Copies of this chain bind each other. A is one copy, B any other.
């Protein structure tokens, strides 16, 4: 069987990790950061290539230090050493975790003192969409062991780098979007009125895996007569019946890179209100597709889609975030919303996600994934049908 989806090789070349590290070190120098401390999965993977689902276990912390020069240093539990040694990282320091009385803190402190001046500044992502993945008590211990080293917010280093994707990253997202587009296109062949939400979602998930997704960590949605009222639900045992609307929204993974888009379906028939809401969301997305290009801001792009919704009768209150960055995570910086004001650049991967409320508190949500090129937006998803698909 020929593979109908865009090719994407697995992993990254060492030169890609070198480029990422060099770029981070340039920004660190501009910001006066002598090293960066990374504690979360996407950041560790971004700089090292270390790719394991072991992060699901809350038991062990994992640390990566990006010094001002040279390669990242891994300070990790011994159990991760074989996997980390397959990456480009060569300086791998381990301890036998779990060891609650000193779960890597001494090892990390020593490493930081080794690579930083005594009065240096350590960058740590502390801003929006970040958290510090280690026990707060251990973080306090780390701080007190740093002596003259101070900690500053290093969010901008990872944010500015991760927002703009390499071609290798884009091909992985493009492949995943193509696989999910095929699964959405086939969905009417698999699901029918009479299925429970749980059955319908399970069939979709299995089809995604059979079509080549590595994993389907994110799958939410909802069904209801004439529409649905919630868009972040897990499926329930509710039986889908004629007259229902159904939304499925997936963040599936190919080689650690995500799609994030949804599709709407009606069963048997649809109300004029639902068709009108679908049309409005479709047109708002279309306006976003036409407008997205380097040199406008996320807020201008948001306003362009918002104008379509407002002209269609939505109140300003309903118009919140209408898209976001996409990559290793199902949602990433930036946000398409008022006040974000991020300048859009070539090779950003974004979702366009206009939504609105209609009728009696029902919701309509469209979503497409795009990559920004010099000439404008390129669709990574196969565009949603022009008219609300009706499964009969």
By a beta-carbon cutoff of 8 Å, the part of chain A in contact with chain B is 10, 40, 51-54, 56-59, 78-80, 82-83, 96, 98, 100-101, 103, 124-137, 140, 153, 198, 202, 205-206, 209-210, 214, 217-220, 229-234, 237, 251, 320-321, 324, 329-332, 335, 337, 339
Contacts and interface: CB of A to CB of B under 8 A. Distances in A.
The residue in A57, A140, A220 that gathers the most chain B C-beta atoms within 10 A of its C-beta is A57
A79 B231 contact: yes
A54 B249 CA distance: 11
A128 B103 contact: yes
Contacts of A335: 59, 98
A331 B96 contact: no
B131 A127 contact: no
Given A132-B131, A234-B51, A251 B137 contact: no
Nearest to A80: B232
Given A53-B220, A80-B232, A217-B217, A58 B132 contact: no
A305 to B, nearest CB: 17
Contact of A134 (B78, B80, B131, B324): B131
B136 A132 contact: yes
18 contacts: A40-B58, A52-B220, A52-B234, A53-B218, A57-B329, A59-B128, A59-B129, A78-B320, A82-B230, A83-B233, A98-B128, A98-B321, A100-B127, A100-B339, A132-B132, A136-B153, A202-B209, A217-B217
Given A54-B220, A129-B135, 19 more contacts: A52-B234, A53-B220, A57-B330, A57-B331, A79-B231, A80-B232, A82-B229, A98-B321, A98-B337, A100-B339, A125-B136, A126-B136, A126-B140, A128-B135, A131-B131, A137-B153, A202-B209, A206-B206, A206-B210
Contacts of A130: 58, 135-136
A174 to B, nearest CB: 20
A299 to B, nearest CB: 13
Contacts of A234: 51-53, 214
A154 to B, nearest CB: 10
Contacts of A54: 220, 232
A232 B128 contact: no
Contacts of A59: 128-129, 324, 331, 335
A82 B101 CA distance: 42
A229 B337 CA distance: 48
A235 to B, nearest CB: 9
Contacts of A218: 53, 56
A234 to B, nearest CB: 6
B58 A329 contact: yes
A68 B96 CA distance: 38
Contact of A124 (B80, B125, B136): B136
B230 A83 contact: yes
Contacts of A101: 339
Given A82-B229, A83-B233, A219 B53 contact: yes
A256 to B, nearest CB: 9
Contact of A137 (B83, B127, B330): B127
